[in-house]
Chain A
């Protein structure tokens, strides 16, 4: 997070077919996020955000744009997708034809966990990675 406690990642997501691929690309090209996470955690995060957004669009009833908020020093992120898309993590996973299964596995391999809750018309997904941000100068682990 920033010195004044505000999130240092604050991205608006547009829910439209194919646009979540732009979000995926944007996340993977974000220098600050890449530097904090390293390539494996970055891929896991970008992939899960993409799959959840894709799921919400195709299988849910998303009514408003989404948002990704992150605190890089804590390796914690919050994805918000508007509308009554899903009401549980199980339901979110169960509606997918498989993408969330592998994305969940990729996240776990990268030391991450995620949870889901519904609140005030938003689907809120918390994504957290164990460990610490990549240290300065650890160039070998930067994003591809």
Chain B
């Protein structure tokens, strides 16, 4: 399936915040090893207390991906951490389901239209 885009996950630190950058597809119907790589990449960052999840370069975001992001965010928040999400402002409709999923997390997980805005919300809440 040449239209599939293999997911890629990278992390770095910026201004005291862990930036988790994801790209490619985050969907159920891709090879299990691709899905596992996403799960492992997220799990590796659960111990951080300030995480910005950058989804602006994601190609396809399905309910599987939404669940993974929700689970990650809930895990970080559940241990006292904070999470913000950055999306592509030109594809806001694609993230409608993610917003539904994240709405159930308390304290709120901010969904921002840029990485800088998302990081700023985490710094304000320090």
Contact = CB atoms under 8 A, between A and B. Distances in A.
B12 interface: no
B66 A102 contact: yes
A47 B96 contact: yes
Range of interface residues on B (Cβ < 8 Å): 20 to 34
Interface string B85-101: 00000111110111011
Contact of B100 (A21, A51, A58, A105): A105
Contacts, number: 61
A50 B91 CA distance: 18
Interface residues of A, number: 27
A42 interface: yes
A18 B92 contact: no
Interface in A104-121: 105-106, 109
B96 A109 contact: yes
B29 interface: yes
B118 interface: no
A99 B92 CA distance: 18
A5 interface: no
Interface of A: 17-18, 21-22, 39-40, 42-44, 47, 50-51, 54, 58, 96-103, 105-106, 109, 143-144
